Amino acid sequence: MANVEAGTGGAGKRSGGGAYYYEEAEAEERAWTAWLVPLIVVACVAVFVAEMYVNNCPAHPGPFGSCAARFLHRVSFQPVRENPLLGPSSSTLEKLGALEWNKVVHQSQGWRLVTCIWLHAGLIHLLANMLSLLFVGIRLEQQFGFVRIGILYLLSGFGGAVLSALLLKKSISVGASGALFGLLGAMLSELIVNWTIYSNRVAALLTLMVIITINLGIGLFPHVDNFAHIGGFLSGFLLGFVLLIRPQFGWLERHDLPPSTQVTSKYKAYQYVFWVIALLLLIAGFAVGLVMLFRGVNGNDNCHWCHYLNCVPTSRWSCDD
C-alpha cells in the first residue's frame, strides 16, 4: 500500500510466493479454477482507469509542469515531479476514497477502510501489486477455492487499513499491498498448521521467511505504508490458521484403509488449538483496533517506537517528508 504526502505517491510492496510440496495427491490441489483473483486484477485496473479519467490532468495545470504521457489526453498522468509513480494527484485519490484518518474518524467515512484497497497511486504501483497478486493469489485460489481466498484478501486488506489509520495520520494511503501481505501471511500459517503433510517443509518455511522479511524491509523506506503491510500480514497470518486448515494425512484415504489403520479425526489436536487461538486473536484484534480508531486514539501515543516500523530515517532520507 502506498502513502501519498504533498502529492507524492509511494511505491507499494512487491510480494512473492514460496513453493509448496505436498505428500497428498496434486489432483485435489488443482480442483479449483482460479477466476476471482483475475477478476480482482481486472477490477483494480478498471478503477485505475477511472482514477485517471476523474483526475483529468490537462484540465488542472499545476506548478510541477506539464502532464506525463500527454498523448493519453484526459487520462494522462500527473507530472513526474508530482507523482513519480505515474498516476493521479493526491487530491483525486482523496476524493475517490483514499484512506485519510481525519475523514474516517471525524467525518464518519469508515467506508474508506475498504475503498482504499482498490485504489492505486500510479501505474508502477498498480503493476507491482497486480503482478504479485497473480503470482501468489492464483495458486492459493486453485488450492483453496474462491470463497476462502476472497474472504482472506478482503479481511487482510481491511486489517491493514485499520492499522494504517491508527498509526499513519499525516498522509493518505491507497493500494492492495495490505491484502497481498495477508496472502503471504496466510501462506506462512498454512504451512505451520498443515506441517505434517509437507515434504521439504523446512526449505519451504525458510523461503517464505526470506520473502516476507525482504518485503517488510522494503516498507522501511519513505513513502511506503508499512503499517498497512504489517496489519495485512498479521490479519492474513491469523486467517490462514482459520481458513486454510487441511485434513491430516490419511483422512481422505481412510475408506480405502483397514479399520485398524484408519484415522478417527479429520484434524490433529494441534490444528484445533491453532484454529481456536487464531480466531480469538482475530476477533479481539479487529474489535480493539476499530474501537481505538473511532474513538480517535493516536496509536503512536501508546507505542513511541512504532513509527520506526514504517520508516527508518538515515542520512540519505528523512521520514518527515
Taking residue 313's Cβ as centre, other Cβ atoms within 10 Å add up to 14
**pLDDT attached to residue 297:** 83
Distances 29 to 62, 113, 253, 316 between C-alpha atoms, Å? 53, 33, 15, 47
pLDDT value, residue 15: 37
Average pLDDT of the chain to the nearest whole number: 82
> pLDDT tens for residues 281-312?
999 999 999 999 999 887 777 777 777 776 77
SS3 77: strand
| Alpha carbon distance 95, 238 (integer Å) | 33
Q: Determine whether domain 35-249+264-310 maps to CATH 1.20.1540.10.
A: yes
Integer Cα distance of 205 and 218 in angstroms: 20
Is 177 known to be catalytic? yes
The model's pLDDT over 123-168, given as tens digits with 9 standing for 90+, comes to 988 998 999 899 889 989 999 999 999 999 999 999 999 999 988 8
CA 230 to chain centre: 9
What is the rounded CA–CA span in Å between residue 96 and residue 62? 20
What DSSP state is assigned to residue 257? S
Quick one: how far is CA 39 from the chain centroid? Answer: 16
pLDDT value, residue 241: 95
Confidence of residue 21 (pLDDT cuts 50, 70, 90): very low
Residue 18 CB-half CA count within 13 A:
26
Predicted TM-score of the model (pTM): 0.83
Indicate the SS3 state at residue 62: strand
Q: How far apart are CA 28 and CA 24, in angstroms?
A: 8
Question: Which residue ranges make up each domain of the chain?
Answer: 35-249+264-310
The Cα 144–Cα 31 span in angstroms is 9
Contacts of 177 (CB under 8 A, 6+ apart): 1, 2, 12, 13, 15, 129, 160, 225, 228, 229, 232
**How many C-beta neighbours within 10 Å does residue 25 have?**
10
Rounded Cα distance between 40 and 141, Å, is 12
- Interval 27-33 mean pLDDT: 62
pLDDT at 315 over 80: no
Integer Cα distance of 176 and 95 in angstroms: 18
Most confident of 7-16, 78-87, 212-221: 78-87
Q: At what angle do helices 36-55 and 123-144 cross, to 10 degrees?
A: 160
pLDDT of the residue at 309: 72
Considering only 21-25, 96-100, 122-126, 263-267, which range has the smallest mean pLDDT?
A: 21-25
84-110 in b/e form (b: 16+ CB < 10 A) is bbbbbbbebbbebbbbbbebbbeeeeb
Q: How many CB atoms lie within 10 A of CB 62?
A: 14
Catalytic residue among 120, 125, 223, 229: 229
Three cell numbers written together for 14: 512487491
Chain centre distance of CA 165: 15
Answer for the pair 223, 3: CB distance below 8 angstroms, yes or no: yes
The residue annotated as part of the active site, out of 177, 189, 223, 235, is: 177
Whether residue 235 lies in the annotated active site: no
CA dist 32 → 16, 26, 68, 183, 266 (Å) = 21, 12, 42, 17, 21
pLDDT in tens, 222-255: 556 888 999 999 999 999 999 998 876 555 555 5
Scanning the structure block, which residue is given the C-alpha cell 479429520? Answer: 266
